[in-house]
Structure 1
Amino acid sequence: MRSAVVIADTTAPADVHGVHGAAGITQWTCLARRAGLAGDWEAVEWARIPAGGISGEHLHTRTREVYVLLTGEGEVTLDGRPHAVRAGDAVLTAVGTRHGLRNTGDGPLEWLVIELPAEPPTEPPADRTVPGPFGSTVVRDLRRTGPLDPSAVIGGPLRLLRHVELTTGEREFLIADGVEHTAFVLGGHGRAGAGNVRMPLRPGTALTLPLGTAADLAAGPGGLAYLHAELVPQGGGLRGRGRQGGGPR
């Protein structure tokens, strides 16, 4: 049976109490999970905490994790060291390291989570503050940094993370040929086509493309901005994108 593009959004999140032992409520939505995907994904998730909220500090014993801050500002603790973060920043956490997140702003703090299973390291790194295999780091403002290869820091199959902006009428084709994709709309509006299906794109919409699928993303009036990640399944290549009207910004 041919796989289908997974479409989800953040309009009806669950309230989760005491995430990682912290007091308070986290709003949470699972946008995609490993079922139906060929790649080594654990899940793609969205989360939000209110002003003063905390996502408790915890040790990663079996997963790698990428946070991308969507709104607000906060403080992430990486292996005991605090780092100020804000919308647009990415936090990369390898297996065997520890992190937590606190909202230091006046409004909600929202972030996207890409979680990947991993074998526990045979030994901890000598200095976890240095980006590298089994390390953790904060990448400042993906919009300015440009495309990022998370595997250079945390290892694993997630090979691309980038901020994309399409101008009015501009289109990008995502083809899951040798790679799988997830795209999360950050701003603007547009439409996506997948086979005979047409769907609106608005902030909070997520599309995940299993192997063998494709989607055509088109920006509406005012443009379209989204976060795009590519994962290479075992034995996969690095194909799967095409753009009309320019390159990534």
Structure 2
Amino acid sequence: MRISRWGWTIATVLVGTIGTAAFAGPVADKVGHTDPAKFRKLTAVHSGAGGMAFAPLLGTDALSTNLIFIHRGEIAPRSGIGQHFHNQCEEMFVILDGDAQFTIDGRTSTLAGPAAVPDRMGHAHAIYNAGDRPLQWLNVNVGMTKRYDTFDLGDSRVGAAIDPVPQFISMRLDRTLLRPMQAMDGGQGAVLYRRALQPSVFATPWSFVDHLLVPPGASVGSATKPGMSEVYYVVGGEGEMTIAGETVPVRTGDAVPVDVDQPRAIRQRGAAPLEFMVIGIARDQAAKAAYAAATAPRR
């Protein structure tokens, strides 16, 4: 089956039909690079207002786990994505700047970026840019399988009532919330880190969202998370990552996939800190449960 709703076709492959070996190959070939010249313009996305431009960074072939896609683009002024359901996958809209109106199950609030709102499986969501300039936007989709599903409500959410306090789960990439961690995974110096979204937030094998800042001169050592894959989206800065023995340069706008059982290490380069949003996706629900138990705060 193929879906062309987003202006290009997305292969929807059931999990289990593709083995881990199919995802082998040079890491450098798998890194997704943000390139506005490749953005495609679409209007009325999920019956939303106005238009936007975006392109895929990573697709179903990036990881052996159930990552379906990561998209990167811009939402034009007074434009958005209409309210729609995902019943077998989960999605998270991220704004990297500005303000946006996020909706979950018909309740809408304005959040200042950089911010993200996850949409749990079986719930509805939307986003609207009520401002006068484009919003930089990122979208992450993870499923129970690698199959994407959607059900549109025909609701643009334009003029929706705004709740002053969000009635849904949200997070901000707020550096003031980060905490220092010395010699992370055997690396050099101190990095700043926090777990922004815990495993319990998600119903699929999606397991966490982390915020990581690597200051100048610091690094993160080589390590793996058992049963877990990750995507490192570079929010800002530049550096290099070594994944399964292969070192690749990374910079703002890159999405770097790290598959199950692949060790990764990180080194900052340049004058600015290297900042990541990290997406964790377990091999399956059993691996997610084991990871959640191993990382649960001790009482």
TM-score by length of 1: 0.79
Query: Distance between the aligned counterparts of 1:45 and 1:136, measured in 2?
Result: 22
Query: CA contact under 8 A between 2:85 and 2:124: conserved in structure 1?
Result: yes
Residue in structure 1 matching 2:233, options 156, 168, 184: 184
User: Over the residues paired in the alignment, what is the CA RMSD in angstroms?
Assistant: 2.8
Structure-1 residue corresponding to 2:215 = 167
Extract unaligned runs of 5+ from structure 2. Answer: 1-20, 150-162, 179-193, 293-299
Structure-2 residue corresponding to 1:77 = 103
Report deviation, 1:84: 0.7
Deviations 1:180-238, CA, capped at 9 Å, x for gaps: 01011111121223356443222111101122433332111222111111111124354
Query: Distance between the aligned counterparts of 1:203 and 1:174, measured in 2?
Result: 23
Q: Greater shift after overlay, 63-72 or 36-45?
A: 36-45
AA aligned opposite 1:184: Y
Structure 1 or 2: more helix by fraction: 2
Q: Which has the higher contact order (CA 8 A, sep 6+)?
A: 1
Residue in structure 1 matching 2:90, options 61, 64, 80: 64
Report deviation, 1:168: 1.0
Report deviation, 1:74: 0.9
Extract unaligned runs of 5+ from structure 1. Answer: 121-128, 130-134, 240-249
SS in 2 for 1:20: helix
Count of aligned residue pairs for this structure pair: 226
Query: Distance between the aligned counterparts of 1:167 and 1:29, measured in 2?
Result: 30
Query: Distance between the aligned counterparts of 2:113 and 2:203, measured in 1?
Result: 24
Structure-2 residue corresponding to 1:33 = 59
Report deviation, 1:80: 1.4
Shift in CA distance, 115/192, structure 1 to aligned 2, threshold 3 Å: same
Residue in structure 2 matching 1:138, options 167, 170, 195: 170
TM-score by length of 2: 0.67
Report deviation, 1:141: 4.3
Structure-2 residue corresponding to 1:205 = 254
Query: CA contact under 8 A between 1:161 and 1:229: conserved in structure 2?
Result: yes
AA aligned opposite 1:8: G
Structure-1 residue corresponding to 2:77 = 51
Residue in structure 2 matching 1:9, options 26, 30, 33: 33
Report deviation, 1:61: 2.7
Query: Distance between the aligned counterparts of 1:227 and 1:115, measured in 2?
Result: 15
Query: CA contact under 8 A between 2:228 and 2:261: conserved in structure 1?
Result: no
Larger Rg, first or second structure (1 or 2): 2
Structure-1 residue corresponding to 2:9 = none
SS in 1 for 2:201: helix
Report deviation, 1:175: 3.2
Deviations 1:5-60, CA, capped at 9 Å, x for gaps: 32011112222332112243322222222335222222222232122221112122
Query: CA contact under 8 A between 1:136 and 1:154: conserved in structure 2?
Result: no
